[in-house]
Structure 1
Amino acid sequence: MMHIRRIARQAPIRSRTHARTTAAALLSAAALLASGCSSSGNASASTPASTTAGAAQLAALPRSTPSSLARYYDQKLTWRDCGVPGFQCATMKAPLDYADPGAGDVRLAVARKKATGKAKPLGSLLVNPGGPGGSAVDYLQQYAGIGYPAEVRARYDMVAVDPRGVARSEPVQCLNGRQMDAFTETDMTPDDQKETARLVAEYKAFAEACGTHSAQLLRHVSTVDSARDMDILRAVLGDPKLNYVGASYGTFLGATYAGLFPERVGRMVLDGAMDPSLSARELNLQQTAGFETAFRSFAEDCAKRADCPLGPKGSTPTQIADNLRTFFLKLDAHPVPTGDPDGRKLTESLATTGVIAAMYDQAEWEQLRDALHAAMKDNDGAGLLALSDSYYERDSDGRYSNLMSANAAVNCLDLPPAFTGPAQVEKALPAFEKASPVFGPNLAWASLNCAYWPVRAMGEPHRIEAKGAGPIVVVGTTRDPATPYPWARSLARQLSSGRLLTYVGDGHTAYGRGSACIDSAINTYLLDGTPPAEGKRCS
């Protein structure tokens, strides 16, 4: 699965849930974003779909609202105190199945913080941090509602909705905490048939558990479903158009909304953009190269420091990468202690997740160096385990959020699987290893996660043009690990009104990450509707 996820550990505004950002994320090395998952294990092999030029196009829905949906569009929200100062919460209903609105409802958790200023209000600004599986309500209450620029919060009601299947919105349920521990520790670089069989068994067990505990919901958590929910929310809030800031996987959600409802697009920012025209295999392979690019940047920085645990000062990035791979191989044979009360040791898979987690934000490179030093020199894996746990959203009591479950459920519905069996992974290993000598094998096997999903994929790779929409700002970071920069360029070209804004730098997403140039350009667009100049670049 892909490592695109949302914000988890960043300062206000930053988007990595955490899709990071959804990620976005990979089912066993992190929480992914856009990896395609699909049908049952006997599905036909997924060959790499054609890229932008040959992909189908997402068609807009009729402008008029079907009478069968009127009761949803006309509903009134009852706002209540959230228990978090300054925020209100409500529950919104949406049809479980848009093809059959009479089949039942899903209840979606909504939160808002009213505009704080006295100037003319601009309506609502919906935010989504990515994943899929990241809680937008948590993101609003913990980051966006207090960390977005004061001038933006003064003019907009800040709003979030947990997408269907996520957090407070009828969450998808799969494994319990102990089962998730076993799942995340599973060897993601099998060396023989026995280890391959165990990995496949873990994927099957995960899929079976999701099918058992969330059978009805699994067919109705696609990105298209959630985008249609957003239009109901827009109407219920009384906004003629949707103003939106989405990060990581949130860009795919926002772009999907624009494709379905182009005439209802207001001011839309898509930060850390995904390319909807790529197949699951292409997405995973290109993201693997993105993590290699980010790691090379980390390695160059590490080599300048006397305390770099991966090599003496002056080492080349290749030497540092070789030393990290050697460390991973040692962990594969001999996991190191962590002091964890549940007895968990640092395995190769958990260590890889910890390193990948730190690639999302250069501010975490120091923490990664310290964690690697402790594991490699002091035989103490606690630091890397902490990075991995935070990425998986595992708390100190051994409980996981439903991030991983929702992530798989959405991804496996949105695209056919990258691979349908181990033989396909083995054939693709050279390409993944070329894309990233450090992470390639792990990410190739992680791409197998949707092969055994109990629900057949409903989506396909497609272009999104959104003809008729106003200017849409697409933001790309040149060394983004999870959403490689070429994806932003591609999405901006696909959108008929796309405007590319480039951040030359490291990390996942750009808004609120310290670039005054980026923040000023986006704030200006949100406040007065003026998009950045064509080709604008910031550093």
Structure 2
Amino acid sequence: MPTPPVLRRCVLVVLVALGLAACTPSPKHQATAPTSDASSSASAGVDPALAPFYEQQLEWTACGSQQCAEATVPLDWSQPDGDTITLALRRVPATSGEPVGSLLVNPGGPGRSAIDFLPSFQVLVSAEVRAAYDLVAFDPRGVQASSPVTCVEPAELDELTAWVPDFTTDEGIAEAVERNAAYGEACLERTGPLLGHVDTASAARDMDVLRAALGDDALTYLGYSYGTDLGATYAALFPARVGRLVLDGAMDPTLDSGEVAAGQAAGFEAALRAYVADCQAGADCPLTGDVDAGMAQIGELFDRIRANPLRTSGDRELTVALAFSGVATPLYAQQSWPVLTQALTSAMRAGDGTALLQLADQYYGREPDGTYPTNQNEAFTAVLCLDDRAPAAPAEMRAEAERIAEAAPTVGEFFSYGGAACAEWPVPEVGALDSYAAEGAAPILVVGTTGDPATPYAWSQALADMLSSGVLLTFEGEGHTAYGRSNACVKDAVDAYLLTGTPPADGARC
């Protein structure tokens, strides 16, 4: 099972819908209305070997208030004549009845189901955007409804998420590597050859097939968190087919695993400090003294739980691994900070870990009955171990852990020793692209939040800089991502870009 740092490399997006801002659509758009004509310009210039995929007809059927379809793509993009897999799509037709194209969405992860996210996404975008576009969600390869990765039973996943590796000795590190290797072998046994083809580049190539099958000459897309990595990869592979891309809560795709872990550790440390200051300014905060003292008390709580896991109202104990997940989850949205205060109060004053365990379960997608309705945990690890693998030599991991601890003394331990997770993953690493400049692409809007714990603001700055046509929009605030949970300034700017193709001024702040 992936160790704690890997489970938090590209964490799931948490969105809170706020008020909807109105924008006026322009009569000009980059995408034509979807068409069923297989000879459409949407598939122009495609390798003849791939033409059957690009020219396939999507058969939409009613599924509740939405429409459903499946698309076929190659299992291995280097062998288009080989085996195929299916991708599940959901669509909410444009309310105008005359769409200018499709707006694809990805909520992050990797591993989060866009199909499950679509009902929430409907209320995040303005009425004008819903009128202009068909809203389309698809589960990327390996995720939930699209040829999913499968690894272990729920009870085994319970054990693995609660597991606390011992990284203080070489023997403990070796045990962690061995246990993660066994998890990988279980994934390979249950998933088969697909496990070696759920990398981000393959998913980005799938998106271009979907773009063509939907009848769009250019891709319009909104990706959150890991979804920005997917969007940036698409832009790098298909710059001429970039339409209007919004990348919110950006990843820096050029960072290696160690740099990602260090950045997230510092991000969560800073977010926790901001929470502590807010908690101490209110009533009934369990953290006394100043911010430094409050942070020390949270560190002491982790130490106590490591030595003696807390009881809960059920038959599961709260281990320190689960405790950190419980503390981290509310940091994704400032609106959730009061929930963290209640959970810490129960743990610190009553020795009750129930509330923190519930928050950890929320992170992992575990239901009260012990089931995991989605495969987000399995898909998460499978994608990340294909995209990048950190050094696994004990000496290198210890040196990295020391650097992380300096930047994040309270939570850094939970982002260290990530190399143990993928050291013996049973399929070869695919790796990242050589360049993400996407030369020749239309303007791409990158949205960054200054207090984002999961995708630090510096990553949004870096992605906007490396994209040849990147434009940076900054939200000055706390929490993970901005569009749909921040303010009208961000919503107005993003909506205007989606509707007219004109981004805000580079460097605009909200």
Q: What TM-score does the superposition give when structure 2 sets the normalisation length?
A: 0.91
Contact 1:188 1:445 in 2 (8 A): no
Structure 1 position 358 matched with structure 2 position 330: yes
Identity, % of aligned positions:
46
Deviations 1:367-388 (A, max 9, x none): 0110111111112111100110
Question: Could you tell me how far 1:466 is from its partner in structure 2?
Answer: 0.8
Question: Could you tell me how far 1:188 is from its partner in structure 2?
Answer: 4.3
2:100: which partner in 1? 122
2-structure distance, mates of 1:397, 1:421: 39
1:110: which partner in 2? 89
Structure 1 position 524 matched with structure 2 position 496: yes
2:52: which partner in 1? 71
Gaps of 5+ in 1: 15-61
2-structure distance, mates of 1:289, 1:455: 31
State how 1:307-386 maps to structure 2 within 5 Å: 307-311=284-288, 315-340=289-314, 343-386=315-358
In structure 2, relative to structure 1, the CA distance for the partners of 1:498 and 1:134 (3 Å cut) is same
Structure 1 position 175 matched with structure 2 position 152: yes
Question: Could you tell me how far 1:178 is from its partner in structure 2?
Answer: 0.8
1:36: which partner in 2? none
SS in 1 for 2:317: coil
SS in 2 for 1:499: strand
Contact 1:172 1:402 in 2 (8 A): yes
State how 1:379-398 maps to structure 2 within 5 Å: 379-398=351-370
1-structure distance, mates of 2:294, 2:410: 10
1:155: which partner in 2? 132
1-structure distance, mates of 2:423, 2:333: 31
Structure 1 position 476 matched with structure 2 position 437: no
1-structure distance, mates of 2:166, 2:498: 45
Aligned partner of 1:411: which letter? L
1:402: which partner in 2? 375
Question: Could you tell me how far 1:172 is from its partner in structure 2?
Answer: 0.3
Contact 1:11 1:143 in 2 (8 A): no
Deviations 1:64-83 (A, max 9, x none): 21111111111111111223
Contact 2:13 2:481 in 1 (8 A): no
Question: Could you tell me how far 1:192 is from its partner in structure 2?
Answer: 4.8
Question: Could you tell me how far 1:147 is from its partner in structure 2?
Answer: 3.2
1-structure distance, mates of 2:390, 2:292: 29
Deviations 1:103-141 (A, max 9, x none): 1111100010000026x532100000011101011111x
Contact 2:452 2:478 in 1 (8 A): yes
Contact 2:441 2:469 in 1 (8 A): yes
2:416: which partner in 1? 444
Contact 1:165 1:221 in 2 (8 A): yes
2:240: which partner in 1? 263
Aligned partner of 2:352: which letter? D
Question: Could you tell me how far 1:310 is from its partner in structure 2?
Answer: 2.2
Aligned partner of 2:385: which letter? C
Instruction: Select 1:463's aligned residue among 435, 439, 450.
Output: 435
1-structure distance, mates of 2:401, 2:44: 46
Aligned partner of 1:6: which letter? L
Question: Could you tell me how far 1:481 is from its partner in structure 2?
Answer: 0.5
In structure 2, relative to structure 1, the CA distance for the partners of 1:75 and 1:174 (3 Å cut) is same
Contact 1:279 1:461 in 2 (8 A): no
SS in 1 for 2:355: helix
Deviations 1:434-482 (A, max 9, x none): 1211111121034531112111211146431111111100011111001
1:274: which partner in 2? 251
Aligned partner of 2:250: which letter? A
Contact 1:278 1:461 in 2 (8 A): no
In structure 2, relative to structure 1, the CA distance for the partners of 1:463 and 1:288 (3 Å cut) is farther
2:29: which partner in 1? none
2:74: which partner in 1? 95
Contact 1:165 1:406 in 2 (8 A): yes
Structure 1 position 504 matched with structure 2 position 482: no
2-structure distance, mates of 1:121, 1:331: 54
SS in 2 for 1:101: coil
Aligned partner of 2:12: which letter? R
Farther off after superposition, 450-459 or 345-354 = 450-459
Structure 1 position 11 matched with structure 2 position 19: no
Contact 1:5 1:134 in 2 (8 A): no
Deviations 1:153-173 (A, max 9, x none): 111000011000000001101
SS in 2 for 1:216: helix
Question: Could you tell me how far 1:215 is from its partner in structure 2?
Answer: 2.8
1:42: which partner in 2? none
Structure 1 position 187 matched with structure 2 position 164: yes
Aligned partner of 2:456: which letter? P
SS in 2 for 1:159: strand
Contact 1:187 1:199 in 2 (8 A): no
1:228: which partner in 2? 205
Instruction: Select 1:418's aligned residue among 382, 390, 403.
Output: 390
In structure 2, relative to structure 1, the CA distance for the partners of 1:420 and 1:195 (3 Å cut) is closer
Aligned partner of 2:502: which letter? T
1:24: which partner in 2? none
Question: Could you tell me how far 1:13 is from its partner in structure 2?
Answer: 8.5
Gaps of 5+ in 2: 1-5, 20-42
Deviations 1:241-300 (A, max 9, x none): 100000000001001111111111111100001111111111111111111111111111
Q: How many residues align?
A: 480
2-structure distance, mates of 1:189, 1:362: 33
SS in 2 for 1:90: strand
In structure 2, relative to structure 1, the CA distance for the partners of 1:526 and 1:506 (3 Å cut) is same
Question: Could you tell me how far 1:520 is from its partner in structure 2?
Answer: 0.6
2-structure distance, mates of 1:451, 1:510: 34
Contact 1:331 1:346 in 2 (8 A): yes
Question: Could you tell me how far 1:306 is from its partner in structure 2?
Answer: 2.9
Contact 1:477 1:504 in 2 (8 A): yes
Aligned partner of 1:469: which letter? A
In structure 2, relative to structure 1, the CA distance for the partners of 1:122 and 1:189 (3 Å cut) is farther
SS in 2 for 1:452: coil
Contact 1:13 1:511 in 2 (8 A): no
Contact 1:187 1:195 in 2 (8 A): no
In structure 2, relative to structure 1, the CA distance for the partners of 1:346 and 1:371 (3 Å cut) is same
Deviations 1:492-536 (A, max 9, x none): 011111000001110000001131111110011111111001210
1:214: which partner in 2? 191
What do you get for the CA RMSD once the two structures are aligned? Answer: 1.8
SS in 2 for 1:124: strand
1:284: which partner in 2? 261
SS in 1 for 2:476: strand
Farther off after superposition, 320-329 or 205-214 = 205-214
